[in-house]
Each structure stands twice: as structure tokens, then as C-alpha cells.
Structure 1
Amino acid sequence: MTPQLVQNIQHRREVMRALLFIICLGGVSFFTINIYREIYFLAFLELSYSIYAVALLRIISKTDNFQRWVVAFLIPLYSLILYALYLPETSKSMFVWILAFPIVSYLLLGKKAGCLVSVLFLMTALIIYHVKFLTMQGSVDIAESLNVIFSSALMISFAHVYEKNRESNEVRLLELAGTDSLTGVPNRLKLYESYGQWLKQLKCGQPTPMSVALIDLDHFKTINDKYGHSAGDEALRHVANFIRAKMPANALLARIGGEEFTLKITEVELAQCCDFINELRKELNESPLVHEGKVIKITFSAGIATYGEDGTSLDALLACADKRLYIAKRQGRNRVCCEGVHEVKTSNKVLC
């Protein structure tokens, strides 16, 4: 399975399951009560919604259209509760269900949609409540009115702050999960996510060239053995920062393990990509790392694969680039191997 960084909606599925279970029990209970009270139409609606909830319990855990099912369940449910609040036979205690609207909406729909749905239905509920229980009494109880209004505002405020912080923390965790802690560049997970997004754009638009370069630092073990692991770590950061400063805006640099980096470049033909990587190699060769007063020369070897000719999956492209990388290594290192490109000599280094 291709790993991707996506926002986790598992917590929303669990909230939805809990809500459906409560609605099942509540619907059956109120159906029985309202049959006894001879409120038949409301009883029928409550029983119908209990059946709907039972059916959704089987769907909600597996469906890919989770948000659509949430909306299809919540909007009628809120409308049913407002209708029950409006009926002459219901009491003020019915309003406690209304106060659950913000919590449920934010947990299931997120910050923006949750806010919209909460405000819309709470405002409607407040109007119904005031018309039915306050104005019909001949005079408005200001204290009771303010209690209802402020308690509603409090529930929306708390739900909004909670969901805002939760979404912010989730985004931050996703960023950390997709970032290499040593160099600060994206990691393998982020690379796969970026490739998946590019594929979606490719299917929706015009064909766009894309190449993947697998870059491996030469004699990296020697750097660790001779200068220490701190120098090795600094060398990795040096290379990552160097490439990031030089790469085009449409490229993604990722560290995929050890001393290996991958550079994904789009909107550039294969020959141009090879020229760029080779130029990058030359410039790095002339930009040594200075660590604790010692000058450490760093070079790399690279293999390049292109989408279409060498594969259509990222795994296939990386495997192809890896084979070409080892060709460059066998030829003496500090080389770029890009099969399918005419041999070009640059600073006595040959692009295969």
C-alpha cells in the first residue's frame, strides 16, 4: 500500500458511531413514549430515524463518502429535533438536545462546516424557543431568555475553540510525520504523498514530464569514521540545504534513508533534469563543508528515472533510479547516470 499523509477521520467515525447508537436507543424510547401520548406522527418519525441510524451503523465504518453521510444524517436529525421542539405537546426540556448541536457539528463536520450548521440551527431553535415558551406567556422573562442565549453561545464558543486547536495540532503532527528530523526536508512519506498529488493533477490536466533523481553521498562512511558522526550529520544537513537552495520551485527534495536523497522534478524534460543534476553535482563538489575547522569535500552519485518510460509508480521509478545510481557508483562515483540521454561529457564526468 502506498503510504500517504492524510488527515485522520477515524475519530469522526467513532463519534458518528456513538451518535448513531444513542439515536437508536433514544428514537425507540421516544417512539414508545409518544405512542402512549398519542403523538403518532412524531413517534413515526422517531422510529424511522432509529431505523435509519441502524442502517448507517453498518455503512459508516467503511464508506469513503463519510462526510456526505454525516450531512445526510445530521440535517434531517436537527430538523426533526426542531420540529419536536415546535410541537405544543413538548416541554422546555427539549432544548437540551439543541445544546448538543455545536458539539456534534464541530466533531463531525470540522471547524467551518460545524460553525455554519451550528449557528443556523441554533438561531432557528432560539427563535422557536422564544416564540413558544416566552412570548406566548404574555411577557418575556429576560433572565430566562439570557440564560438560553448565553448557554447556546457558550456551547458554540467551546466547540469552536476545541476544534480549531485540534485541527491545528493535527496539521502540525502531519507536518512532523512528513519531515526528516535531522535535515528538515520531507521524508519518504511526504514524497509518496507528493507523488500521489501529482498523479491526480496529471489525470485532471495536460501530460506533464516528471523525473526522479536518487542521490547518494559518496564515501559517507569515511566521513563518519574520519571526522565523527556529528560531522556526518552536519554533512547531511549541508547537502540538504545546498540542494534546497538550488532546486527549482516545482521540485521536492526528500531524505529517504541514510545518506540517500530523492529529488522529484516536474515540468522539466529528462535531458534538462540530467543537466541540472549534473550541474548540482559540480557545484557541490566545489562547495565543501567546513566542520570544526576542517574542510570536508562532499560528492554524490545519482541515478535518474522518468515517468512513463521507466515506470508509472513511484516504487518502479525509485527502483530504476537505484539501478542507474549503482551504475554511476561502479563507474567511479561522483557521476550522474541517466539512461536514454546521449553521452555528454561535463568536467570529465559522463552522464550514462
Structure 2
Amino acid sequence: MLASVDHSDQSRRRMFKTLLWVTMCFGVLFSVFNATRGLWLLVGIEVIYTLLSLYMLVVVERTRHLRALTIVYLIPFLGVMMATLANPNTSVGIFAWIQTIPIILYLLLGLRLGLIGSILFVSLGLYLYTQHYAEKNPSDSLGFLLDIGMATLAITIFSHTYEHTRAQTEKRLMELISTDYLTGLANRSKLTEIFARERAHAQRNDTPLALVYLDIDHFKQINDRFGHETGDQALRHFASVLSQRLRATDLLCRLGGEEFAALLPNTTAAQASAIAEELRERLASTPMLVNGTPMQMTLSAGVANLGQDGERLDELMNAADKRTYAAKRAGRNRVVSDEALALG
């Protein structure tokens, strides 16, 4: 996911902080209440958990392991809740807290873990109720059990539906943000995100990483002669033809206008030049049909390599862009990877 729009992570972080504050407030309240009833074990557990919540509130904003921290928090949190429900002296009203379990788990853990946790702990909570209250007044207890059980089931279904819809909406939003609407390729933002990941991988494993800058030759003439609709068709044709040659690990993206780039992980400069040549040849040999008439398209390309041409994306883009313009000056429909030609 794009770091700048990692809504899910930030949303769960805020939810977690809210729950920590609620835990501390209710921990103090219930520890005082249980102390008046002489339930010192529960008092000790609640005080310890209140202090744990305070510690987690301090570290939650800077942790990289939010889900792990959340699970570490939730297991004793739900354990304390189950222990409270299991206590014979617990008020029957406490069982209303079972209904909060699906909401908390879905909001903090997502769809799969939320469903698993809800089924597990809601079932356990209802079982504990049957063990401690069913014999006291069976008819009243059964009615209460059905009420709280059906209400909790409804909340679980609503929570599951909400989380599923939210996850699908967020996924679609991320696709829209990172995809070029015309060609369906990745856009510049996606390139920036993937480059950061691939550069870290290349530096960590000492593997090459190459960037190819691609520019459609005489694209303005296509627009001027045939119109913008044909120009859009040409962009889609270009994207389709080149995508068929690239590997699944490669990233082809549209930078804007008729300018494209291909990020090639685990690829040396020589290998990237060969791939760019294949792309050039494939495009030149695959004309686009305009009103039933084949129209040949060509490209000019420049190649840059991580390390030799820089460590940042803008440095590689600048180097590859210069070589692309060198290819255009040399007559177009060619690939340049040599620094001398780019400066010439």
C-alpha cells in the first residue's frame, strides 16, 4: 500500500489508542468497584492491565508491529473479560460486554482474524453464562441468553459486512490512486512506491536494478493527424504491446503524456538494454490499426542502472531521460544506454 495513504494502518492505530484509553478508564473504575466487593484477584488483574495499557499507549504511535502489539493486548484483555464472566459473583449485566467483542476484533484485526476471534470468544462468553446462571432461573436465563446471543450475532454480521465492504473499497481506492486511468498501467506514484521497495531489496541482496525510460516517437503528429481519440488508442496499444514482453516482476508505468518507464528488478544495464531493444522491435513490428489501416509506431528509450547512475529514483530518471533524448537526436527508434552518447 502507498505509504502516504496507508489509511488502514492509521485507522487501526487510532482505534487501538481509543481502546487503550477506554481500558485505562474502565480499569480504574472496575478496580475500585471490585475492591468494594472484596474481589482482590480481579482488582490486581485490572491494575496490572491498566498499567500495561498505559505502556502500550506510549509506544503505539512508533511501533512497526501494530498487529502483533494489538494481539498481545487483546489476548489478556479478552482473558480478563472471560475471567470476569466466569466469576460466580459477577453481575448478569456484565454479559452485555460480550456484544463489544466483534466490534473490537473486526476494527483492530480485520476480516479474517476478526471473524475467528469473534466466534471463539463470543461462544466462550455465552458458554460461561450458561454455566453460572442457567440453574438460578432457567426461564429468565434462557430468555436473556437468547437476547444477548441474537444481538451479538447481529453485531457480528454487521461488523463482518462493514469490514468486508471497507476492505474492498480501500483496495479499489488504492488501485485508482496508483493506476493510470487510460492505459491501466501503474502511475508515477506507484513507481515511486515500488522503486523504494526494490532498491532496498537490491541493496540488501547486492542485486542489480535497472530503469528504462520510454518515449513514443512522433506522438504529437498522431494526435494532430488523427485526433486525440486515436492518440488515446495509441497509448493503450503501446501499453498492451510492451506489457506482453515484460516479466511478472517488472513494472511498466505511464509517467504522463507519451512518456513511460519500466522498472526491471534483478537486471543489469546490459540486460536492460537487450530488453529495451526487444520492446522497441516488438512495437515496431506490431502496427496499430487506424480505421482499418495499419499504422507503425516506434519508441526511443534510455537505460539507467542503480548505483552507476545514482541511488535515488529522480537520479535514475534523469539519466535515462537524457539517454532517451540522445536516442531521439540520433534519429529515433533506438535505445541508448551509453553515457557518452547521452552527453554527445
User: What's 2:165 paired with?
Assistant: 165
Residues 195-229 of structure 1 deviation map (CA, whole Å, 9 limit, x = unaligned): 3443455467x654432110012232233233322
CA apart distance, 1:140: 8.7
CA distance in 2, matches of 1:67, 1:3: 17
CA distance in 2, matches of 1:111, 1:314: 36
C-alpha distance 157-245 of structure 1, shift in aligned 2 (>3 A): same
User: What's 2:188 paired with?
Assistant: 188
8 Å contact 1:252–1:264 — kept in the other structure?
Answer: yes
8 Å contact 1:3–1:189 — kept in the other structure?
Answer: no
Q: Which amino acid aligns with 1:248?
A: R
CA distance in 2, matches of 1:183, 1:284: 16
User: What's 1:330 paired with?
Assistant: 329
CA distance in 1, matches of 2:335, 2:71: 53
CA apart distance, 1:334: 2.1
Q: Which amino acid aligns with 1:125?
A: G
CA apart distance, 1:100: 0.5
User: What's 1:30 paired with?
Assistant: 30
User: What's 1:347 paired with?
Assistant: none
User: What's 1:245 paired with?
Assistant: 244
User: What's 1:153 paired with?
Assistant: 153
8 Å contact 1:4–1:192 — kept in the other structure?
Answer: no
TM-score, structure 1 as length reference: 0.86
8 Å contact 1:186–1:255 — kept in the other structure?
Answer: yes
CA distance in 2, matches of 1:149, 1:76: 23
Gaps of 5+ in 1: 344-349
User: What's 1:271 paired with?
Assistant: 270
Aligned residues: 342
Residues 55-86 of structure 1 deviation map (CA, whole Å, 9 limit, x = unaligned): 33332233222112211211111111111122
CA distance in 1, matches of 2:53, 2:128: 26
Determine helix, strand or coil for the equivalent of 1:186: coil
C-alpha distance 5-208 of structure 1, shift in aligned 2 (>3 A): farther
CA distance in 2, matches of 1:5, 1:194: 15
CA distance in 1, matches of 2:302, 2:56: 51
Say whether 1:95 aligns with 2:95: yes
Residues 238-288 of structure 1 deviation map (CA, whole Å, 9 limit, x = unaligned): 211111123233322100122111112234443333223223223323433
8 Å contact 1:270–1:306 — kept in the other structure?
Answer: yes
CA distance in 1, matches of 2:190, 2:231: 23
User: What's 1:73 paired with?
Assistant: 73
C-alpha distance 56-305 of structure 1, shift in aligned 2 (>3 A): same
CA distance in 2, matches of 1:282, 1:111: 47
CA distance in 2, matches of 1:151, 1:210: 55
CA distance in 2, matches of 1:248, 1:56: 44
User: What's 2:215 paired with?
Assistant: 216
CA apart distance, 1:295: 5.5
Alpha carbon RMSD of aligned pairs, Å? 2.9
CA apart distance, 1:91: 0.9
8 Å contact 2:210–2:264 — kept in the other structure?
Answer: yes
TM-score, structure 2 as length reference: 0.87
CA distance in 2, matches of 1:277, 1:331: 16
Determine helix, strand or coil for the equivalent of 1:262: strand
Residues 310-329 of structure 1 deviation map (CA, whole Å, 9 limit, x = unaligned): 33443332222122112212
Q: Which moved more, 1:125-134 or 1:52-61?
A: 52-61
User: What's 1:259 paired with?
Assistant: 258
8 Å contact 2:303–2:320 — kept in the other structure?
Answer: yes
Determine helix, strand or coil for the equivalent of 2:244: helix
User: What's 1:235 paired with?
Assistant: 234
8 Å contact 2:323–2:339 — kept in the other structure?
Answer: no
Q: Which moved more, 1:127-136 or 1:271-280?
A: 271-280
C-alpha distance 307-263 of structure 1, shift in aligned 2 (>3 A): same
User: What's 1:307 paired with?
Assistant: 306
User: What's 1:83 paired with?
Assistant: 83
Determine helix, strand or coil for the equivalent of 2:135: helix
8 Å contact 1:209–1:269 — kept in the other structure?
Answer: yes
User: What's 1:116 paired with?
Assistant: 116
Structure having the larger proportion of residues in helix: 2
CA apart distance, 1:94: 0.4
